[in-house]
Amino acid sequence: FSKQSTPGAAGSVNTLTDTTLQSTITYLGIDGVIPFVSMNINAPTGTAALYRTARFAPMDADLVDLSNFGEGWNIGPTIGANIPINDDLMLTLGAGYTYRGEFTRETDDGTSAFATKQKMKAGNNISLNASASYQLDTWTFMLGASYATESKTYIDGAENFRAGDRYTILGSITQTWSNTWATVLSGNAIFSNKNETLPLGGSSVI
């Protein structure tokens, strides 16, 4: 259930959201390397198209955990390995791919109802990541980096957008006080190349 009441743009929606499924398999039979395979799936059980005042109900993704209520199938396999260097230092390497399926959403048809539909095909995503974790007594230090690139987004079969490649650096420091209490300080920085967008009257993104 989502409701917001900005003057002139108030709306609410009450709907089932998409279903997320996740599974990870880890193999422990190789000395010095711990490979893993995981799968993350978004199943389209929610509502992607919102009409009339319901289109005002989604909220800012910076403020809420769930900013939309439905998409198409998203299928994201990941493969990687944990590599223990010694008892205190662990390296993690991974690569992932996310296929994002087509779905229908509302579009501006010049009325307040947004009653027409359009086919949305978001870009697929490829990511590479690496991190290192070091434990010193009750302290744990983590430093990681990742790279992600995305294919073009299509609307009604035509090119519309492509997000620029993204580079992320992240880190954390954890102090464990007991079996139930810990303090975590974390941060990240994201660097993005320029996005590609469709110019007015154009047929391909630039």
Q: What is the mean pLDDT of residues 175-188?
A: 96
Q: Which pLDDT value is given to residue 115?
A: 80
The set of residues, in sequence order, having a beta carbon less than 8 Å from that of 187 and lying 6+ positions away, is 170, 171, 172
Q: Which of 42, 140, 29 is nearest to 81 (CA)?
A: 29
The set of residues, in sequence order, having a beta carbon less than 8 Å from that of 24 and lying 6+ positions away, is 36, 37, 38, 39
Q: Which pLDDT value is given to residue 61?
A: 85
Q: Which pLDDT value is given to residue 72?
A: 94
Q: Which pLDDT value is given to residue 165?
A: 98
Q: Which pLDDT value is given to residue 118?
A: 92
Mean residue pLDDT across the chain: 94
140-159: pLDDT as tens digits: 999 999 999 999 999 999 99
Q: What is the mean pLDDT of residues 38-67?
A: 91
Provide the residue type at 60 as one letter.
D
Q: What is the mean pLDDT of residues 86-112?
A: 92
- Number of Cα atoms under 13 Å in the Cβ half of residue 39: 7
pLDDT band, very low/low/confident/very high, at 48 (cuts 50, 70, 90): very high
6-20: pLDDT as tens digits: 888 899 999 999 999
Q: Which pLDDT value is given to residue 67?
A: 86
Which residues sit opposite 41 in a β-bridge? 21, 75
Instruction: Identify the DSSP state of 7.
Output: T
Q: How far apart are CA 176 and CA 181, in angstroms?
A: 6
Assigned token pair, 61 = 């993704």
Q: Which pLDDT value is given to residue 55?
A: 87
